């Protein structure tokens, strides 16, 4: 984003907080409002810094932003023409009053009774039926939001695959992308990491690596 080497402690360390909050808030189409919701103002960023931060993040991540709008176009085409569209390894298709998205793992996401509507900003948008505040209602969505659904779903499948490769271990829990394993001190940490870092056969080419640490009780490293 800033055209300088990444340094946690050093000459560029003052940029770390800006980069971190931008990465958390802007990855799925967020803008100034998302930065504020993440606490950007409370962290010391000024109102004037927020829009340039959004612009810098998007310019530094052109493939991500293109992915948002490729997904948006695929979903709209599938719903509008009740057809099937393939993009970035996903298949988007309308069937029996549902929008389905096939994931690389073979699972699929489903959106109930999708149709083309108008969102709260007056723009064309896909809407579908779902639960909001405990009530069944019509929800609006768009490319970046569906991208978030896809990324989270694929991430879940990758973790589930890792759990299967480590099924001989005593897995007592998971936290986001972490597995918590109870084992004897003689178990090789590197061997566990190597197994967890295996790329699933259904997503060839994905670069994975797992790191780990040992402790007597669960804590953040």
The per-residue DSSP string of the chain comes to: --SS---SSSTTGGGHHHHHHHHHHHTTS--HHHHHHTTTTTTT--HHHHHHHHHHHHHH-HHHHHHHHHHHHHHHHHHHHT-EEEETTEEEEEETTEEEEE-TTS-EEEEEEEEEEE-TTSSEEEEEEEEETTEEEEEEE-HHHHHHHHHHHHHHHHHHHHHHHTTTSEEEEEETTEEEEE--TTS-HHHHHHHHTPPPTTSTT----------SS----
Q: pLDDT at position 109, please?
A: 98
Share of the chain above pLDDT 70, in %: 100
Q: pLDDT at position 89, please?
A: 93
pLDDT in tens, 134-173: 999 999 999 999 999 999 999 999 999 999 999 999 999 9
Q: Where are the domains of the chain?
A: 13-60, 64-154
pTM: 0.88
Q: pLDDT at position 130, please?
A: 95
Q: pLDDT at position 92, please?
A: 98
> Mean pLDDT, consecutive 10-residue segments, the chain of 221 residues?
77 79 92 92 87 93 97 97 96 97 98 91 91 93 96 97 95 94 94 96 95 90 73
């Amino acid at each position: 984003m800033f055209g300088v080497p990444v340094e946690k402690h050093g000459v560029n360390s003052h940029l770390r907080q800006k980069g971190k909050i931008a990465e958390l808030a802007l990855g799925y189409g967020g803008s100034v409002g998302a930065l504020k919701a993440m606490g950007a103002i409370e962290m010391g960023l000024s109102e004037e810094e927020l829009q340039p931060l959004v612009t810098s993040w998007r310019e530094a991540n052109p493939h991500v932003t293109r992915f948002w709008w490729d997904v948006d176009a695929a979903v709209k085409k599938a719903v509008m023409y009740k057809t099937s569209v393939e993009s970035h390894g996903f298949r988007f298709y309308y069937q029996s009053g549902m929008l389905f998205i096939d994931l690389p793992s073979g699972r699929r996401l489903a959106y109930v009774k999708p149709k083309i509507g108008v969102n709260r900003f007056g723009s064309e948008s896909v809407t579908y039926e779902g639960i909001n505040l405990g009530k069944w209602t019509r929800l609006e969505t768009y490319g970046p939001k569906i991208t978030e659904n896809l990324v989270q779903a694929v991430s879940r499948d990758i973790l589930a695959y890792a759990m299967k490769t480590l099924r001989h271990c005593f897995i007592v829990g998971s936290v986001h992308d972490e597995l918590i394993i109870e084992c004897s001190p003689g178990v090789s940490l590197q061997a566990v990491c190597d197994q967890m870092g295996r790329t699933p056969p259904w997503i060839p080419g994905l670069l994975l690596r797992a790191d780990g640490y040992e402790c007597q009780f669960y804590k953040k490293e």
